[in-house]
Structure 1
Amino acid sequence: MKGAGPQISLVVSHQDQISRLPPEARVLAGSDFCPFAMIQIKTFFLGIQGHPEFTKSYVNDLMTARQQLYGDDVYEKGISSLSQPVDDKRVVSWIVLFLEKALAEKRP
């Protein structure tokens, strides 16, 4: 996780999230809202609850399409959050490094 600092910021859009850790899982990142936001199991599984693949424009359109489902308060808070910086490129680089390392390992 090159360039990891004390916090990361990603766009999130989910109704479900991990509520119990699977055996041997290690928490790499979390928040009050999502305590298991990023987990790793050994060298072969990386789970990320956020969406580094979502652009802010896409999320804006998604939230607008779902505005009635969310309600006005949640919608406005979500739209407002899009003004914050996100670490999508940094997290994508971690995913690529993780996959490269996993593929380089020799498995029986």
Structure 2
Amino acid sequence: MEPFQPELDLVVSHQDQVSRLPEGVEVLASSAFCPYYMLQHGDHFISVQGHPEFSRDYSRALTMKRRDRIPPNRVREALHSLNARVDDLLMMRWILNFFYDR
């Protein structure tokens, strides 16, 4: 992952996540909440549990649409988190580098 950065912040919407590491898969990034945050399988597959493709406006709209299923405190936390800096462009660069370097 170039350029290297020790931490990665993306918009997340964790309704589902990888809960068991498949055989032959390497963990590239993890967190306490999501131990299999970014995975690689050989030279052909990369996945990330965050959403570099989500804009803040889309994430806000998605949160509001789901607010009947999300506890009010989590809705407030989610909306507040949209003020944070995200590394969406860096993640997109990493994805492009992954495929172009093959």
Q: TM-score range by the shorter chain?
A: over 0.9
Q: Does 1:25 align with 2:6?
A: no
Q: How many residues get paired?
A: 102
Which residue identity is paired with 1:21? L
Higher relative contact order (CA 8 A, sep 6+): 2
* Equivalent residues in 2 for 1:28-107, closer than 5 Å: 28-102=28-102
- Write the distance in 2 (CA, Å) between the matches of 1:57 and 1:47: 23
Which residue identity is paired with 2:13? S
C-alpha RMSD of the superposition: 1.0
Cα drift, residue 66 of structure 1: 0.8
In our comparison, the structure showing a higher alpha carbon Rg is: 1
Cα drift, residue 92 of structure 1: 0.4
Task: Give the TM-score of the pair, scaled to structure 2.
Answer: 0.94
Q: Which runs of 5+ in 2 are unaligned?
A: none
Q: Contact between 2:9 and 2:87, CA under 8 Å: does it hold in 1?
A: yes
* Poorly superposed stretches of 4+, deviation over 4 Å: none
Identity %: 40
- What do the CA deviations read for 1:76-99 (whole angstroms, capped 9, x no partner)? 010111111000000001111112
- What do the CA deviations read for 1:40-67 (whole angstroms, capped 9, x no partner)? 0111110111100000111011101111
Q: Which runs of 5+ in 1 are unaligned?
A: 103-108
Task: Give the TM-score of the pair, scaled to structure 1.
Answer: 0.89
Q: Please give the secondary structure, in 2, of the residue aligned with 1:69.
A: coil
